[in-house]
Amino acid sequence: MVEKSVKVVTENRKARHDYFIEETYEAGIALTGTEVKSLRAGKANLKDSYAQVQNGEMFLFNMHISSYEQGNRFNVDPVRPRKLLLHKKEINSLFGKVMQQGLTLIPLKVYFLRGRAKVEIALAKGKKIYDKRAALAEKDARREMERAARGKE
């Protein structure tokens, strides 16, 4: 079996804190040459980014990829909308779920898989403040139980 070589560029750690993740999808992303070089250097940020369907195509908004230092005139706008590469059937399915169920599309991480830039997007539902508190309380309780179990051994 061939091993997949995955190099994670950036992750949206806050997404799992702010949203309930329903499903995840892997999508390719259309980039220019200087953006790819900047991504390989790890200069990307997913904070406040989201995906949306427009005219039957999926786009990623507010993802910041810093300008490549040696890029000069070939550099593009760091926060431009970027096209996500998905099958038409997947796009239609996601669009239907977003429209009917009130879900959002959030990018979780950007990575390179066999030399190609990929984005993991999630179908997510926003958490309320009390949901976040409950999740934190559950996490603290689990940590306390593990600490107690280690103390007895």
Please provide the average confidence, as pLDDT, over all residues in the chain. 86
Rounded to 5°, angle at Cα 8 from 6 and 14: 140
Q: Give the model confidence (pLDDT) of 3-59 as tens digits.
A: 577 888 889 888 888 888 888 999 999 888 888 888 888 888 888 899 999 998 999
DSSP 62: S
Residue 141 domain-assigned (yes or no) = no
- Domain of 87 in residue numbering reads as 6-127
Q: What is the mean pLDDT of residues 102-115?
A: 89
Q: Is the pLDDT of residue 150 over 90?
A: no
- CATH number, residue 32: 2.40.280.10
94 CB neighbour count, 10 Å cutoff: 23
Q: Is the pLDDT of residue 1 over 80?
A: no
Q: Is the pLDDT of residue 2 over 60?
A: no
Q: What are phi and psi of 38, to 5 degrees?
A: -65, -40
Q: Is the pLDDT of residue 121 over 90?
A: yes
- Domains in the chain, number: 1
Alpha helices in 19-128 (DSSP H): 33-40, 88-101
Residue 34 domain-assigned (yes or no) = yes
Q: Name the helix (H) or strand (E) containing 141.
A: helix 129-152
Percent of the chain with pLDDT over 70: 96
